[in-house]
């Protein structure tokens, strides 16, 4: 549910390294990195409301072992995309999100196959209302108090973004207007955590292809590191010091192989005497988040049909799943 609300695939945001740039907004003085950082964190902590529009697109191109065919004859393309529009009232303990996903599969000699889905979500205090693509509403009730769920900025994506400022280095590469707001444009320098996330992302792709845990995948770290390209940018308002936009791109190549499989008799993983290559896979992932409506009044209320849905406690979900 939180993924629907915030689309949080791959957000790793800035730390400030000591560069300065003349501000055309605010008090008009030169600002150093530390001042911008502290202002951003302070502004995010005092935030009451905001809107977030997010998008993600992952393109996977898979070349099966060619044999007697050319590479293009064996090229399979999988495109997964998601968009979310969310409004969050931090002081009122309310949030609304509308999301959609699309999946397209293009295989050699076949017409493209596309599927899509939509969902709507309201989070009111400790209640979550979800409408699926068929129009059916589900009401989930968290046994915790609303204050416990919303406390410490747990639903403040803007605060989470600014808190990660201290975990990376960055440089100011210019200025740009985002939605009419004059903003610093910052480039985030990759840190050790970025390469850890890169490996996890690549291994996740390989695991999906091999249907893990049915089969155990393996990837070549050297190939991954040499082919990977990543860029992360963030724009921060010169007037409010709140983020106006975040953008990331990641691409890499891997050649997954199957090195083991699950023994159906024992349920244990066994290593094969010889690995099997699955062919080269090229992956490209792009994400964009845009923030607007800081501290603006919001009207967030679930429709009547959502309020009529029967409430379900987590314990009831577990019992239903086990039945």
pLDDT at position 167, please? 73
Distance between CA atoms of 314 and 319, rounded to whole angstroms?
Answer: 9
Per-residue model confidence as pLDDT tens digits over 185-243:
888 888 778 888 999 999 999 999 999 999 999 999 999 999 999 999 999 999 999 99
pLDDT at position 323, please? 46
Residue 2: pLDDT over 70: no
Distance between CA atoms of 171 and 187, rounded to whole angstroms?
Answer: 5
> Predicted confidence band at 170 (pLDDT cuts at 50, 70, 90)?
confident
Which are the contacts of 315, defined by CB distance < 8 A and separation ≥ 6?
Answer: none
pLDDT at position 172, please? 84
For residues 185 and 178, the answer to whether their CB atoms sit within 8 Å is no
Residue 81 preceded by cis peptide, ω within 30: no
Q: Quick one: 170 exposed, middle or buried, by C-beta within 10 A (0-12, 13-18, 19+)?
A: buried
pLDDT at position 169, please? 80
Residue 312: pLDDT over 60: yes
Using a pLDDT cut of 70, give the percent of the chain over it: 83
Per-residue model confidence as pLDDT tens digits over 242-262:
999 999 999 999 999 999 999
pLDDT at position 65, please? 66
265-273's contacts with Cβ under 8 Å and 24+ in sequence apart are 269/213, 269/216, 271/216
Residue 15: pLDDT over 50: no
pLDDT at position 27, please? 43
Q: Return mean pLDDT, the chain.
A: 84
Average pLDDT, integer, range 15-33 = 42
Residue 25: pLDDT over 70: no
pLDDT at position 33, please? 64
Per-residue model confidence as pLDDT tens digits over 117-142:
999 999 999 999 999 988 999 999 99
Residue 14: pLDDT over 70: no
């Amino acid at each position: 549910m939180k993924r629907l609300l915030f689309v949080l695939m791959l957000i790793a945001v800035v730390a400030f390294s000591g560069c300065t740039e003349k501000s055309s907004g605010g008090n008009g003085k030169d600002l150093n990195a530390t001042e911008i950082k502290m202002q951003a964190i302070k502004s995010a902590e005092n935030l009451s409301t905001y809107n977030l529009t997010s998008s993600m697109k992952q393109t996977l191109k898979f070349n099966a072992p060619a044999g007697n065919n050319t590479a293009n004859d064996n090229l399979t393309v999988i495109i997964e995309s998601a968009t979310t529009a969310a409004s969050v009232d931090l002081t009122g303990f309310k949030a609304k999100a509308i999301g959609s996903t699309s999946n397209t599969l293009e295989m050699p000699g076949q017409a493209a196959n596309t599927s899509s889905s939509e969902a709507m979500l309201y989070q009111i205090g400790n209640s979550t209302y979800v409408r699926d693509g068929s129009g059916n509403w589900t009401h989930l009730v968290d046994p915790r108090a609303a204050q416990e769920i919303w406390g410490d900025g747990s639903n403040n994506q803007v605060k989470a973004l600014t808190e990660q400022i201290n975990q990376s280095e960055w440089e100011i590469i210019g200025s740009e207007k985002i939605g009419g707001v004059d903003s610093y444009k910052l480039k985030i320098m990759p840190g050790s955590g970025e390469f850890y996330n890169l490996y996890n992302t690549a291994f996740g792709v390989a695991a999906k292809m091999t249907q893990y845990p049915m089969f155990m995948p393996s990837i070549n770290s050297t190939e991954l590191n040499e082919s990977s390209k990543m860029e992360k940018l963030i724009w921060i308002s010169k007037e409010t010091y709140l983020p106006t936009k975040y953008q990331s791109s990641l691409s890499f190549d891997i050649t997954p192989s199957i090195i083991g499989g699950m023994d159906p008799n024992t349920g244990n993983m066994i290593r094969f005497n010889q690995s099997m290559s699955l062919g080269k896979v090229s992956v490209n992932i792009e994400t964009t988040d845009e923030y607007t409506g800081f501290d603006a009044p919001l009207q967030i209320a679930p429709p009547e049909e959502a309020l009529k849905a029967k409430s379900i406690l987590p314990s009831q979900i577990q019992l239903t799943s086990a039945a």
